Amino acid sequence: MQLSGKTALVSGGTDGIGAQIIRQLRAKGVTVITSGRNAERIAATRSDGFEVIEADLSTLAGVQALIAGLNARPIDILVNNAGAGADHDFREEPPDLAVADAAIFLNLNAPIHLITRLMPTLRARPEALIVNVTSGLAIAPRAGGPVYCATKAGLRSYTQALRAQLAGTAITVLEALPPVVETRMTAARTSKKMPAPECARQIVAAMERGAAEANVGLVKVLKAAHSLSPALARRIMLRF
């Protein structure tokens, strides 16, 4: 897609990978509208010149607030980036179902709601793009994060079916699968992490190419291993 001149809604652009995506899109001539929750991070993003709509996307009210904040403006690009992990490990503390429910809504329900609500405006554009940010963990889960991995596998599956439905239309559907990236989400992890600007660069490049998937960094290796032996890839990732 020719990005210059387009308008994009990027959820969760106040931090992490999303904060890099919005800056790289703006540098390519895209008008960016983003969203977040945390007041300080919203203020910082606004002071950098971005429009930020405050919305907690783990709730239906938050999705509605984001749609209302758009004020029926036409959108060419929707990037469903906002997401969060959820501790859910029966070998440790008893899982908190409220945390699980919030993560399921944020990571899976909210993208589906936003796509559904914005489909009329996307369909009306000469060309449009939907980007769903999943994860390498959508391909094979790790044992410690069953809820998070299930939401990402669910969004991957939704994305693949949506792409088939929209084949032959002017709407391209891109799934972005980051590896472990250095953000607030992975602060507690000691494994090697990709810098967020590089992850965003690969996602934005895939948007420009019109690719179906952005398999970022080590996710390319995981995909190759999974295509050779899904059982082996699963065994390795479960220990991760």
Ligand X SMILES: NC(=O)c1ccc[n+]([C@@H]2O[C@H](COP(=O)([O-])OP(=O)(O)OC[C@H]3O[C@@H](n4cnc5c(N)ncnc54)[C@H](OP(=O)(O)O)[C@@H]3O)[C@@H](O)[C@H]2O)c1
Q: Considering only residues 17-36, where is the footprint of ligand X by CB under 6 A?
A: 17-18, 36
158 catalytic? Reply is no
Indicate if the alpha-carbon torsion angle 149, 225, 163, 205 is positive or negative. positive
C-alpha 33: how far from chain center: 15
Pick from 3, 10, 14, 24: which binds ligand X (CB under 6 A)?
14
Binders of ligand X among residues 204 to 233 (CB under 6 A) are none
> How far apart are CB 165 and ligand X at their closest, in Å?
22
Distance CA 239, CA 196 (A): 24
Nearer to ligand X (CB atom), residue 57 or residue 70: 57
Please state the closest distance from residue 55 (CB atom) to ligand X, in A: 6
Beta-bridged to residue 128, according to DSSP, are: 171
Residue 133 found at the interface with ligand X (CB under 6 A): yes
Stretch that binds ligand X, among 77-85, 89-97, 112-120, 166-174 (CB under 6 A): 77-85
d(CA 149, CA 151): 5
Does residue 16 interact with ligand X by CB under 6 A?
Answer: yes
- The residue type found at 9 is L
- What binding mask, one character per residue, do residues 94-113 give for ligand X by CB under 6 A, x or -? ------------x-------
If binding is defined by CB under 6 A, does position 139 make contact with ligand X?
Answer: no
Closest CA to 237 of 146, 132, 134: 146
**Is 70 an interacting residue with respect to ligand X (CB under 6 A)?**
no
Q: CA angle, corner 6, sides to 164 and 20, nearest 5? A: 90
Pairwise CA distance, residues 102 & 42, whole Å: 21
Cβ closest to ligand X, residue 121 vs residue 151: 151
Mask for 171-190, x = binds ligand X (CB under 6 A): -------x-xx-xxxx----
Amino acid letter at 171? I
Question: For residues 17 and 25, which CB has a smaller minimum distance to ligand X in the complex?
Answer: 17
Catalytic residue chosen out of the listed positions 70, 81, 103, 148: 148
Cβ contacts of residue 78 below 8 Å, gap of 6+? 8, 9, 114, 115, 118, 122, 128, 129, 130, 131
Q: Is 202 in the site for ligand X (CB under 6 A)?
A: no
Q: Distance between alpha carbon 197 and the CA centroid of its chain, in Å?
A: 15
Interface positions with ligand X (CB under 6 A): 12, 14-18, 36-38, 41, 55-58, 62, 81-84, 106, 133, 135, 178, 180-181, 183-186
Positions marked catalytic: 148
